[in-house]
Chains A and B, each alone.
Chain A
Amino acid sequence: MNTATGAPDPQTIVQAADLSRRYGEGEAAVDALAGVSVGFPGGRFAAIMGPSGSGKSTLMHILAGLDRPTSGVVRVGGVDLTDLSDQDLTQLRRDRIGFIFQTFNLLPVLDARENILLPLSIAGKKPDGEWFDLLIDTVGIRDRLSHRPAEMSGGQQQRVAVARALISRPTVVFADEPSGNLDSKASNDVLELLRHAVDDFGQTVVMVTHDAHAASFADRLLVLADGRIVHDGDAVTSEQALDLMKSVG
């Protein structure tokens, strides 16, 4: 199974080899992924695009250990996820992985500060005050810290979510359409934040998106179609991304 891209590489944070994922059985079976091999090096910002139903979310869930592939292997930071128990996966999520969701997913009963610190309190870790300060200034919600999600705009909520994803200094942050529910201004803010995290904090980010403009913030663009990678290349402009999409579309 050592394909060209599947070989372990110390620089590669997330490594997938020959992933396939089949939903259902028999006639009705759907192959959401059909042999995907890809590696994500550290400190880079990768965007995954593709038409609806092409398997983007499925790939991301599997890479993050939220779902298991039908076949193939995923390594995160050198750890093979295949045989990890629920407890080990839980530990992996605490130490290595951060998430940003399309629908923000903040806990309504907690204020912004508590939401940001939530992963640490779950893991029973002490927050690093300087890091926290740096983060909230970076995402720019210092004056909203005591507000509840219901009292914040979508853009503000998503910025809180970005801070929450970064607070535990994860090895990799996965973002599924982080700008999907935001207007262009708020969307720009969030994407710039991610860019900033990669450039200034050396964060690794994998982002799924529909939006060609969003993709233009990344260092690398992968395009999925029918569960396969059909394009894997360097940074592009929005126009180029749009053209790429049209060609697979």
Chain B
Amino acid sequence: MLPLVLRGFMQRKVRVVLTAIAIALGVALMAGTYILTDTINKSFASIFSVANRGNDVVISPTQNLGRETRSQTSPITDQMLAKVRATPGVSEAAGSIFTPGTFLDVHGKRLTNGGAPAFVASESPKRFESFKPVQGHLPLGPDEVAIDEQTAKRHTLKLGQQMIVAGSAPAKRYTIVGITRFGGGESFGGAGAAILTPTEAQRVVGLPGHFDQIEVAAESNPAHPVSANELRGRIRAALPATVDVRTGAQQAAKDTSDLESNLGFLRTFLLVFAYVALVVGAFIIFNTFSITVAQRTREFGLLRTLGASRRQIMQSVVYEGLLLGVVGAVLGLLGGLVLAPALNELFKAFGAELPHNGTVVETRTIVVSLLVGTVVTLLAGLPPALRATRVPPLAAMREGVEIPPRVLSARGLIVRLAIVLVIAVLLAALIGGSVAVSVVFAALWVGRLSARYRRGARPRRYRVVPALARGIGALVSWRGITGQLARENSIRQPGRTIITAAALTVGLALVAFVAVLADGTKATINQAVSRSFAGNLIVENSQSGNNEQGIPAVVAPALRRVPGVAGVAPIAFTEGRLKGSSSNVRITAIEPSTFGQVYRVEWKKGSNATLLGLGKDGTILTKSYADSKHLKVGQTISVLTPTDKHIALTVRGIASDNARLLGDLTITLPLAREAFGQRDDALNFVAYSQGASNAQVQPAVNRLLAASFPQTRSRTAAQFKQDQASQINTLLALIYVLLALSVIVSLFGIVNTLILSIYERTRELGMLRAIGTSRRQIRQMIRYESVITALIGGVFGLVIGVVGALLVTTLALSDSGYVQSIPVGTLAILLVVAALAGLLAAQLPARRAARLDMLQALASE
């Protein structure tokens, strides 16, 4: 059978390629994701290993709350450094700073790229130096700075120019004396670094006498050799448990693994879209195989009369699936090589630049891509293959022999169950995809999604299709006979039409799903801000959403001195861990005396007076958190802080908060500073005095911010809402781009189905031409048919997406105050896009149909 299959394969190259592309695109995204993330990982690993090269031992703060959480106050002090230096076997030790900060040009414009982070770093002794100057030198005095090469290039900074560095202290001007390169690599994850002298760096980050890390070199005296491990043990014994002591190699490995876990999210995020594309591809493979099996009934019948067994017929179709799968998977893998850099460009365009030196293709990438591509194709082709086995030999003799309904044997039942299982798994992937997409939104603002998640119903009623086709067809039938014929053709094989359309449905449903979710999220933010925010201005880091960096604590007192400002409420976010728990709680820190003036708390237990009585041992819980942990007012909980302290907190009040400003726990800012090491604020809410107008006060506030804190900005409630919306739109655009791939895959499905049905109707088309139908009319007919199919897919997709999103948000988010909203305009545009896509997909098939040689068409049997 195999040679026969191969032969057929070679003669249907166009169809094979079109079908293979359906699976190849999904595989390409998958391979591309692996290649990109592996490349990034590898690049970082080499950066880290270079960065840690001179270090025999590294001392860094213990992260007792997991690798994502770090105290804002490093426990590493000058005294610790002195102890390390006194340890036998240490030849040299130096403290260093590497903390997020902001750099700007002299006009106050940021010198970083999009959302990429920027770090304030300190100059180190030569042997520990991670930054090698490529021009000039490292800073020698408190007014000098060296800047990383990438930032310098991007903003054409030259030696001798001035720039501003802002951290926890008010901004200050420095002269650029050097341009450096990190760890020998081109880019440190797109991040910028401004290198200051150690003392100056400590002052800027607001922690004189503290370091982020201590680097140690061992004695190199050959008379008393000391291994890095041995030295590590000695230093470990000399230092408290608030720090970790690692060898240079261990530190590099840890840095890399931290990064990998961060990138894991990116990988999963991208893979979800690859799976969606693969599911869509599987639909197309299934459909194409179903059609070709139907078309080859006579051929299968002939083979049966010539002595072929059912098994051989099955094999011939399965081999074809296997071959196609391999072709698709290989094409996909090659596509992945092209896609990986393209994905990187995509992220760059959305403000996240990551280092990628070379192209890393791991064996895992090759194996997984080839395997997944082949297996998905094989499985999708299995039901049609089984159907082919039921073609009776008589089909070779008579026209129109029906394939008899299957009689289920035990084996058949097992096969069937297996197929159902596979489909279930594919659907689970699809649903998982939507979950992941919605989680992204949740992560953005809405917060954690509850596990109760259900996906909308998937209508599979064939009857609906003819009805829909007629409805949509009515739109085109005013175009006369071609429109009418197109309509009839699309309902001739409703099963075929719906599966072709279903491929498009999957992609569009997800697009509609995220569009509705995003619109609701915007509406929710708008409503929550209007309802809860009682102040006039919000001061935040001008890199919106950058809570890690936030704003210096000294901003609030400065703001209070601005004329027209009545009160300023600083707010900070931190984390802690409840005794016995393995996950962190979100903690909001507020100033009790001011918070009540600028924020309307929806109290369940307690009142604004509760805020004033909060003290250093009290906390307020959100209702959802209190409910989930069965906590009541008066109970005491023990919380582990990022600085490794255990504190006892008594529940003083319970509030619900749709705006999600309040974390699981709310505590006072003094407690956060004392026990959590929290130094910066995330937001300052500003309230104006009676009669003060925004036109006067905001400019005054802005002048202050620009002069002393150029990394911050002020927003009115309306501006704040706009920022949030545009942030959501950015993410939405990224998701659209990634989903577009699935839509493209489904277009190939439409092309395929059209080509196959044109082939099937060769005679009919010949007849139409013979009785006077023009080429143009034939083309039109095919185009209409395609548009009808695409619109069916579009309508189903939009309905499923909208219903699914409404269902999910009703089930999972209704108690968190989510406001549902349907973006009618966007949905209408989607439908138009679907129709245009259908038109595009029809181009090649329409031309083929019109080119048919009339005589040959009539002669063809």
Contacts and interface: CB of A to CB of B under 8 A. Distances in A.
Contacts of A90: 304, 307-310
A94 B397 contact: no
Given A99-B305, A123-B307, A109 B7 contact: yes
Contact of A122 (B11, B299, B303, B396): B303
A176 interface: yes
A93 B305 contact: yes
A101 B397 contact: yes
A105 interface: yes
Interface residues of B, number: 25
Given A103-B861, A107-B4, A93 B303 contact: no
Interface in B282-305: 298-299, 302-305
Contact of B397 (A107, A121, A176): A176
Interface string B390-417: 0011101110000000000000000000
B302 A107 contact: yes
B825 interface: no
A110 B4 contact: yes
A176 B396 CA distance: 12
Binding site of A, secondary structure by majority: helix, strand, loop or mixed? helix
Nearest to A86: B310
B695 interface: no
B394 A67 contact: yes
A33 interface: no
B393 A94 contact: no
B7 A87 contact: no
A105 B299 CA distance: 8
A230 interface: no
A66 B307 contact: no
A176 B8 CA distance: 27
Interface in A57-99: 57, 61, 64, 66-67, 86-87, 90-91, 93-94, 99
Interface in B601-660: none
Contacts of B393: 66, 93
Contacts of A99: 305-306, 396
A114 B393 CA distance: 20
A109 B310 CA distance: 21
Interface in A103-122: 103, 105, 107, 109-110, 114, 118-119, 121-122
Nearest to A176: B397
B312 interface: yes
B222 interface: no
B309 A109 contact: no
B3 interface: yes
A110 B6 CA distance: 11
Nearest to A115: B306
A57 B401 CA distance: 14
A197 to B, nearest CB: 18
Nearest to A168: B307
A122 B3 CA distance: 11
A155 to B, nearest CB: 16
A93 B304 CA distance: 8
B7 A61 contact: no
Given A86-B310, A121-B3, A105 B302 contact: yes
Given A90-B309, A122-B307, A122-B308, A61 B394 contact: yes
Contacts of A87: 309
Contacts of B302: 101, 105, 107
Nearest to B394: A66
Contacts of B310: 86, 90
A104 to B, nearest CB: 10
A105 B396 contact: yes
Contacts of A107: 4, 299, 302
B314 to A, nearest CB: 13
- In the complex, which of the residues B303, B304, B306, B397 has the most CB atoms of chain A within 10 Å of its own CB atom? B306
Contacts of B309: 86-87, 90
Nearest to A57: B397
A64 B305 CA distance: 9
Contacts of B303: 118, 122
B11 A109 contact: yes
A115 B167 CA distance: 82
Contacts of B308: 90, 122
Nearest to B11: A109
B4 A66 contact: no
A107 B296 CA distance: 11
Nearest to B2: A121
Interface in B1-43: 1, 3-4, 7-8, 11
Contacts of A66: 305, 392-394, 397
Interface string B368-407: 0000000000000000000000001110111000000000
B292 to A, nearest CB: 13
A57 B307 CA distance: 20
A16 B398 CA distance: 22
- In the complex, which of the residues B11, B306, B307 has the most CB atoms of chain A within 10 Å of its own CB atom? B307
A107 B310 CA distance: 18
Nearest to B399: A103
Nearest to B306: A119
Contacts of A168: 307
Contacts of B394: 61, 66-67
A119 B4 CA distance: 12
A50 to B, nearest CB: 17
Contacts of A93: 304-307, 393
B307 A119 contact: yes
A161 B299 CA distance: 14
A90 B305 CA distance: 8
A123 B303 CA distance: 11
A119 B306 CA distance: 5
A110 B1 CA distance: 12
B126 to A, nearest CB: 73
A183 to B, nearest CB: 16
B796 to A, nearest CB: 37
A164 to B, nearest CB: 8
Contact of A109 (B4, B312, B392): B4
Contacts of B305: 64, 66, 93, 99
B397 A61 contact: yes
A66 B305 CA distance: 8
A191 B643 CA distance: 100
B397 A122 contact: no
Interface string B415-438: 000000000000000000000000
Q: What 6 A-B pairs come out closest when comparing CB atoms?
A: A94-B307, A93-B307, A90-B309, A119-B306, A109-B7, A122-B308
17 contacts: A66-B393, A90-B310, A93-B393, A94-B307, A99-B306, A101-B302, A101-B397, A105-B302, A107-B4, A107-B299, A109-B7, A109-B8, A118-B303, A119-B306, A121-B3, A122-B306, A122-B308
Interface of B: 1, 3-4, 7-8, 11, 298-299, 302-310, 312, 392-394, 396-398, 861
Interface of A: 57, 61, 64, 66-67, 86-87, 90-91, 93-94, 99, 101, 103, 105, 107, 109-110, 114, 118-119, 121-123, 164, 168, 176
Given A93-B306, A101-B302, A105-B298, 10 more contacts: A66-B393, A66-B397, A87-B309, A90-B304, A91-B307, A93-B393, A101-B396, A107-B4, A107-B302, A110-B4
